[in-house]
Every structure is written in C-alpha cells, then in structure tokens.
Amino acid sequence: MYSERLVLGIYAVTPVHAGSGAEVSVIDLPIQRERHTGFPVIWGQSLKGVLRSAFKETGELEEVIKAIFGPEPGEKAHEHAGAIAVGDAKVLLFPVRSAKGVFAYVTCPLVLKRFKEDMELAGKEVNFSVPEPKENEAIVSENSAVELSGKVVLEEVALEAKGQDLTAIASELKKLLPEGIDLEERLVIVHDDVFTAFVKLATEIVARVAIDQSTGTVRRGGLWYEEFLPRDTLLYAVIAAGNPRVTGVGGLRTASEVKDKLGNFLTSVKYLQIGGDETVGKGFVRVVVRR
C-alpha cells in the first residue's frame, strides 16, 4: 500500500513543547513520551498536523492537500484517506550538559538499534555496529571534545570514557542533521538505563506566570510548569507514501509523485514550528530530508 518512504530529521533550534495534555503532577504540562520507555516522542498525528498546516501556507490547491493529507475531520473525511502515513518522531540524540565541551550529544544502544530497524523499514542502507557500553561507561570518539582526564561528566554523572572509532555511526546520523554541526567530537553513547535517566530528568522545566492586569499580581491559577525538549535535540520520523485515493489531482497519480511533492516541500521550507508556545518563540526546528 505504501510503496515509497522518506526519513525526516528534526533538529530543535529552540525548546519544543509537544504536549501530552494536563497532568496532576509536579509538571502541569509534560511533553509526549513513549509509554513503555519514557523516551520523548512527537506523535505522528501531531507531526502530520504540523506538516499539513505548513503545506497549506504554500498556497497549494486545497484538493492537492486533501489528496496528500486527507480531508480535515468533519469535511467528508469518510470519503477517502490521505496518501501518506506519518510515523512518530523518535529521539535520536539528546543534548546533556558536560563538564568539558559545554554539552554532549547523547544516545544509547536501544535508540541506535531502533534507528537501524527504522532505516531498514524505510529502505535505507545503514552500516554500523551498535556499541554496548556498561552502566559506568561512556563510549566516545578518539578525538572527543567532552572527555576530561579519562572521564565524561554529564550533569552530575561521571562515567569512564572509552575511546572507539565512531566514524560510521556519526556519518549515518549526520545525514539527518543540518550542515555545520560537529557531531563526532560531541557524540557520547551510554548504557540504556543512563540514557533513560537523562531524557526523563534533564529536560527543561519552565515556570509560566499569568498576571492579572487589574492587580498586577499573579492571577489565581496563573502559575504552571511546562516541560520542553531542549534545543539541539535530534529526532527522526519515517513518512510513507502511497498512491492517492483521488487520482489526477494536481498531477499526483503515483506514490512516487506524492513522495516527490512532499519531499520537495520539506526541502524548501527548512524550518517548521512544532508544539505549543509558538508566540514566545518555542518549537522552531530545522528539517532535513533523507529520500
């Protein structure tokens, strides 16, 4: 059904709040996460909405938008589905404060194995072996910028630095990164449990306040806490394309033409805005398309 696929790299240039809704906890508005791993994620339905909204701003014909994304809910959505399937955007690199080199791009074996599986699903060839660090180890490149006297200190966690050739891994991940980012020198691979702790505890928590203009004080109920994915987080998503259910609209007849239409659009926009708080500059991401 979906015969064509492309991969979208999503790199945060400002903090991103793709919210999961209100919760009764310390964080009032948490970000979206996988239920079983707790890893940050941007749900496919959220990402599809962002793509659709950005695509509409290009002035494209409404019929073409419907052919690619499907009709809007309530607009004869029962008549036909869209021609694309947008997968969840999964975390690939997570920035963590480092005692040396300012910050590191952190990932783990579980994330890298999933990435390889998803690239296979997308029909992309990926050639690297996944390292398996111990809980007290951090695998870094031989020319690491974050190693400090045989250690890698991330937040308050000190790990034994283990040098290894990470060229193959860095080369594959850079295909989803914007140009100009020095990945290999900052790349750190840690144990799955250590990575889990970082993505749960090292996100940005921001207090938001609403002021009552008549009194100049905090409005009742006007203090809440929001969670953000930090700047420099890299996520990726697989987008599959099939033949349009309505043929001939805007010249779209095949899955390949749908893929090219969407890929050309994403290549041209370079930036998208995802999630909430867009009026205060949050949610800007750079996008890189791997076809």
pTM of the predicted protein model: 0.92
Q: Does residue 198 surpass a pLDDT of 90?
A: yes
Q: How many other C-beta atoms are found inside a 10 Å radius of the C-beta of residue 240?
A: 20
Are 187 and 243 found together in one domain? no
Please state, in angstroms and rounded to a whole number, the distance separating the CA atoms of residues 66 and 268.
20
Where in the sequence is the domain holding 58, given as residue range(s)?
1-18+44-87+229-290
Are 196 and 242 found together in one domain? no
Are 273 and 238 found together in one domain? yes
pLDDT at 280: 81
| pLDDT one-digit tens code per residue, 204-244 | 998 888 888 888 888 877 888 899 999 999 999 999 999 98
Max distance between CA atoms of the chain, in angstroms, equals 64
Q: Does residue 268 surpass a pLDDT of 80?
A: yes
Are 157 and 255 found together in one domain? no
Q: What is the mean pLDDT of the chain?
A: 91
Please state, in angstroms and rounded to a whole number, the distance separating the CA atoms of residues 141 and 129.
14
Are 81 and 158 found together in one domain? no
Q: Does residue 194 surpass a pLDDT of 70?
A: yes
Instruction: Extract the tokens encoding 224.
Output: 């809440």
Q: How many other C-beta atoms are found inside a 10 Å radius of the C-beta of residue 23?
A: 12
Per-range mean pLDDT, top range of 99-108, 247-256, 258-267: 99-108
List the alpha helices (DSSP H) in 74-138. Answer: 109-121
- Residue 105 placed within a domain: yes
| pLDDT one-digit tens code per residue, 59-71 | 888 888 888 998 8
- Residue 77 placed within a domain: yes
Closest CA to 34 of 58, 49, 18: 18
Are 70 and 131 found together in one domain? no
Closest CA to 203 of 89, 277, 86, 106: 106
Give the model's confidence band at 27: pLDDT under 50 very low, under 70 low, under 90 confident, else very high.
confident
Are 59 and 158 found together in one domain? no
- Residue 152 placed within a domain: yes
- Residue 215 placed within a domain: no
Are 181 and 251 found together in one domain? no
- Residue 248 placed within a domain: yes
- Residue 97 placed within a domain: yes
Query: Which residues lie closer than 8 Å to 108 by C-beta, 6 or more apart?
Result: 189, 190, 191, 192, 194, 195, 196
3 within 8 A of 261, measured Cβ to Cβ: no
152 within 8 A of 166, measured Cβ to Cβ: no
Are 69 and 106 found together in one domain? no
Are 73 and 123 found together in one domain? no
Are 233 and 163 found together in one domain? no
Domain count, the chain: 2
Are 274 and 194 found together in one domain? no
| pLDDT one-digit tens code per residue, 2-22 | 889 999 999 999 999 998 877
pLDDT at 78: 66
Q: Cα separations (Å) of 119 from 28, 179, 190, 237?
A: 35, 21, 21, 10
CATH classification of the domain holding 234: 3.30.70
Give the model's confidence band at 24: pLDDT under 50 very low, under 70 low, under 90 confident, else very high.
low
| pLDDT one-digit tens code per residue, 140-180 | 999 999 999 999 999 999 999 999 999 999 999 999 999 99
- Residue 5 placed within a domain: yes
Q: Does residue 77 surpass a pLDDT of 70?
A: no
Cα of 89 vs its chain's centroid, Å: 5
